[in-house]
Amino acid sequence: MSATILVVEDEPGIQELLKLNLGQQGHSVLIAGDAEEAAHVLRGAMPDLILLDWMLPGQSGVDLARRIRADARLKDIPIIMLTARAEERDKVLGLETGADDYITKPFSPKELMARIKAVLRRRAPQMTEDAVEIAGLRLDPVSHRVYGRDQPLSLGPTEFRLLHFFMTHPERVYSRSQLLDQVWGDHVFVEERTVDVHIRRLRSALEPSGHDGLIQTVRGAGYRLSAN
Amino acid sequence: MSATILVVEDEPGIQELLKLNLGQQGHSVLIAGDAEEAAHVLRGAMPDLILLDWMLPGQSGVDLARRIRADARLKDIPIIMLTARAEERDKVLGLETGADDYITKPFSPKELMARIKAVLRRRAPQMTEDAVEIAGLRLDPVSHRVYGRDQPLSLGPTEFRLLHFFMTHPERVYSRSQLLDQVWGDHVFVEERTVDVHIRRLRSALEPSGHDGLIQTVRGAGYRLSAN
DNA sequence: CCGGCGTGTCACGAAAACGTCACGAAAACG
DNA sequence: CGTTTTCGTGACGTTTTCGTGACACGCCGG
């Protein structure tokens, strides 16, 4: 798995360190020393991942992240934040601006590489317009219909999006907050327990064809759709 | 096996020698000429190993080692001391300050590389999102599932985290307090004996596939997961 | 205006998980 | 061989987590 990675970092030492390690993993590396340079690079290239320092000369990393998320062409590029402080507030704020992960300095290259791998892999499955079918349950995004063993099922809008997300990401556990991000939208103010209720509603909607039970509860972790 | 290594050494000749040899082994090298520079580098990066000269201009290597050991984030980085004198007292003192190994100048590059390899092998691997498999026991963090010989096993949240930690750190003994730090979290107030109970629960959860016995008791030391 | 419909939140109870203790067995010690 | 330490285990009370029914609110078409 090799990718093009943009590094936005002003300290030459860290620049070198990242360039070396990323190069060793077979990734192509683009370097920018500040937000302006980064913006310039992004006009010409579209990296698969952005490593973004929290503290930058001039414009801060957070602002840059916001601008990237606001850009229609760039908004889907995963961002990993590099932060000097481990303060919880910073972490949360970083994630709220759309960063996919963060790591605090000093960091071990090993850990960073693992996160990069994880983030790149996480992006793999996408919700598309294609119909999905699992265990005799078929969902068609275009006609906005769900069939359980050729029997039409009736779902509400939220239940539909929830099921669509699960069916395009099977065999994976998602926490309530992850589901809120993915199904409700990134920055909604909704109680986490609300997910429970919609899971229940989805389950009862799937019951007529016996496809409830597809959605399993994983205690202490979240929910999962599994063919078993 | 490639790692990031910080070299703290003031003689340019030795610097070059180390850089060459380490680079040939596929390691990334960070260089610092004195303790101050080293501290600066450590603010941003977290190497997998530190090669530390005993004698440094200004602050001595021993002081630096002490400071590293006192830093919560850096204290687990292995340190190898480079010393000019072969006196036993110095050796002991060096080890007492937290060095994992030492080597006396002049040294043969071959010997140094051997020691580095040994120290790095001891280093604990990381927990990632990758599935782990040992002796027919498979744990997948993504789907949050555990299979023993293709038979699904049912674990509670704590048992799952405990097993995950053990499987990513096999063949190594961990004390109860270490396990509390790693699995429960750094700052929890819990009795150490609680670990015993969870070990028992984990063992019984693994029993259906005969994978209890993977977790062994080391009297007076702690617990260990071993493939035997 | 009113009556579904979709939605978010709450309260309650059941079930699971958790932490702690007491007791006895096993090992280590002298 | 008796004492002491360490560990396994069953039991118990408490806390956490989850499922579920109920309700209030906004929206929209009749």
Which pLDDT score, from 0 to 100, does residue B175 have? Answer: 95
Among A46-55, A164-173, A182-191, the range scoring the smallest mean pLDDT is: A182-191
Strand D closer than 7 A to residue A115 Cβ: no
Task: Answer yes or no: is pLDDT of B120 > 90.
Answer: no
Q: Could you tell me the pLDDT band of residue B89, with boundaries at 50, 70 and 90?
A: very low
Contact A12, A18 (CB under 8 A): no
Please state the separation of Cα A114 from the chain's center in Å. Answer: 16
Q: What topology does CATH give the domain B4-122?
A: Rossmann fold (3.40.50)
Q: Mark yes or no for CB contact B43/A84 under 8 Å.
A: yes
Q: Could you tell me the pLDDT band of residue A89, with boundaries at 50, 70 and 90?
A: very low
Highest-scoring range by mean pLDDT, A14-18, A46-50, A162-166: A162-166
Tell me how far apart the alpha carbons of residues B30 and B9 are, in angstroms, rounded to a whole number. Answer: 11
Among A74-88, A203-217, B179-193, the range scoring the smallest mean pLDDT is: A74-88
* Pairs of residues, one from chain A and one from chain B, whose beta carbons lie less than 8 Å apart: 73
> Would you give the DSSP letter of residue A182?
I
Q: Which two tokens stand for residue B54?
A: 């005993």
Task: Answer yes or no: is pLDDT of A116 > 80.
Answer: yes
Which pLDDT score, from 0 to 100, does residue B74 have? Answer: 84
When comparing pLDDT for A40 and B120, which is higher?
A: A40
Task: Answer yes or no: is pLDDT of A87 > 70.
Answer: no
Task: Answer yes or no: is pLDDT of B221 > 90.
Answer: yes
Percent of chain B with pLDDT over 70: 91
Percent of chain A with pLDDT over 70: 90
- What would the mean pLDDT of A79-100 be, rounded to a whole number? 64
B220 CA from D7 C1′ (Å)? 10
Q: Tell me the pLDDT tens digit for each residue of B109-119.
A: 788 888 888 77
Q: Tell me the pLDDT tens digit for each residue of A169-216.
A: 999 999 999 999 889 986 678 999 999 999 999 999 999 999 999 999
Which pLDDT score, from 0 to 100, does residue A140 have? Answer: 93
Task: Answer yes or no: is pLDDT of A22 > 70.
Answer: yes
Q: Tell me the pLDDT tens digit for each residue of B22-56.
A: 888 878 889 998 888 998 888 888 898 999 888 77
Q: Torsion angle, CA of B15/B16/B18/B21, rounded to 10 degrees?
A: 170
Task: Answer yes or no: is pLDDT of B88 > 70.
Answer: no
Q: Tell me the pLDDT tens digit for each residue of B125-161.
A: 777 788 999 999 999 999 999 999 989 999 999 999 9
Task: Answer yes or no: is pLDDT of A115 > 60.
Answer: yes
Residue intervals of chain A classified under CATH 1.10.10.10 are 132-225
Backbone angles phi, psi at A191, to 5 degrees: -65, 145
Q: Could you tell me the pLDDT band of residue B124, with boundaries at 50, 70 and 90?
A: low
Nearest CA in chain A to B43: A106
Among A83-97, A126-140, B193-207, the range scoring the smallest mean pLDDT is: A83-97
B195 CA from C30 C1′ (Å)? 30
In A, which residues are within 8 Å of B129 by CB distance?
Answer: 114, 117-118, 121
- What would the mean pLDDT of A22-33 be, rounded to a whole number? 89
Q: What topology does CATH give the domain A132-225?
A: Arc Repressor Mutant, subunit A (1.10.10)
Give the nearest nucleotide to B220, CA to C1'. D6
Q: Could you tell me the pLDDT band of residue A217, with boundaries at 50, 70 and 90?
A: very high
Taking all residues of chain A, what is their mean pLDDT, rounded to a whole number? 86
Tell me how far apart the alpha carbons of residues A163 and A157 are, in angstroms, rounded to a whole number. Answer: 10
Task: Answer yes or no: is pLDDT of A88 > 60.
Answer: no
Which pLDDT score, from 0 to 100, does residue B149 have? Answer: 92
CA angle B220, B225, A114 (to 5 degrees): 120
Residue intervals of chain A classified under CATH 3.40.50.2300 are 4-122
Tell me how far apart the alpha carbons of residues B144 and B167 are, in angstroms, rounded to a whole number. Answer: 14
- What would the mean pLDDT of B215-225 be, rounded to a whole number? 96
Among A50-54, A59-63, B40-44, B200-204, the range scoring the smallest mean pLDDT is: A59-63
Strand D closer than 7 A to residue A157 Cβ: no
Q: Could you tell me the pLDDT band of residue A53, with boundaries at 50, 70 and 90?
A: confident
Highest-scoring range by mean pLDDT, A9-23, B10-24, B67-81, B212-226: B212-226
Q: Which residue has the tokens 């919609």?
A: A198
Nearest CA in chain A to B47: A108
Tell me how far apart the alpha carbons of residues B174 and A36 are, in angstroms, rounded to a whole number. Answer: 48
Query: Is ipTM > 0.85 here?
Result: no
Taking all residues of chain B, what is their mean pLDDT, rounded to a whole number? 86
With left for phi above 0 and alpha for psi between -120 and 50, is residue B30 left, alpha or beta? beta
Strand C closer than 7 A to residue A159 Cβ: yes
B44: helix, strand or coil: helix
**Strand order across the B137-140 sheet:** B132-134, B137-140, B145-148, B151-153
